[in-house]
Amino acid sequence: MRDFRNVDAWHKAHQFTLHVFRITESFPKAEVFGLSMLLRRGSANIPMKIAEGCGQDENPAYFRCLQQARALATECEYLLLLARDLQFMEPEGYDALQGQLVEVRKMLSGLMKSLPV
């Protein structure tokens, strides 16, 4: 079993989630149960999947959780694009979040490649 707090990808995903929560505070109130909630839930699920994987005893189970986290990151990438195109966020905010998300996905891919499955 691994401690998720020692996984760099988890730290980066956690920071991304905190950034998403802060930026979605400025979304229109009509989006509280819409896009804002989807983005918040999606972003929080990325580090949660990493943490879940760290609780697995077998590398294949850990690998599957990392795959799921990477897939969730891709879903969030679309949600960010939608929020930007709906003008719920400034282009600079989108660029910052997008950059964080790309880094998280790269880190997850690297971590997956390093596992003997």
Q: What is the pLDDT of residue 43?
A: 98
Q: Say if residues 8 and 68 touch (Cβ distance below 8 Å).
A: no
Q: What is the pLDDT of residue 21?
A: 97
Q: Say if residues 62 and 56 touch (Cβ distance below 8 Å).
A: yes
Superfamily assignment of 4-114 in CATH?
Answer: 23S rRNA-intervening sequence (1.20.1440.60)
Q: What is the pLDDT of residue 117?
A: 64
* Residue 32 three-state SS: coil
Give the predicted TM-score (pTM) of the model: 0.94
Return the residue matching tokens 């707090």.
5
Q: 10-residue block means of pLDDT along the chain (117 residues)?
A: 93 98 94 93 98 94 97 97 95 95 97 88
